[in-house]
Amino acid sequence: MQLALIVGSEGTGLRRLVRQRCDFLLRLPMRGQIDSLNASVAASVALYEIWRQRGIAI
């Protein structure tokens, strides 16, 4: 199965038209005093979880 991970900007996220073209949307839950993650950190977390679920060794 092919996959494309599209990461939105740190402040506003994805544009409306981009969101509408996506099959799935993901939001990382935040706890504590942190409001958001740097876009590259969020992408790393998402990629790690994708690889973990697909059984790909890192």
Please state the domain count of the chain.
Answer: 1
pLDDT, tens only, 11-56? 788 999 999 999 999 888 888 888 778 889 989 999 999 999 888 7
Side-chain-facing half-sphere of 11: CA atoms under 13 Å = 0
Instruction: Print the domain residue range for 24.
Output: 1-58
Q: Which two tokens stand for residue 12?
A: 């506003």
How many angstroms separate the CA atoms of 46 and 52, rounded? Answer: 10
Local structure of 9: helix, strand or coil? strand
How many angstroms separate the CA atoms of 58 and 9, rounded? Answer: 26
Q: Please state the pTM of the whole predicted model.
A: 0.72
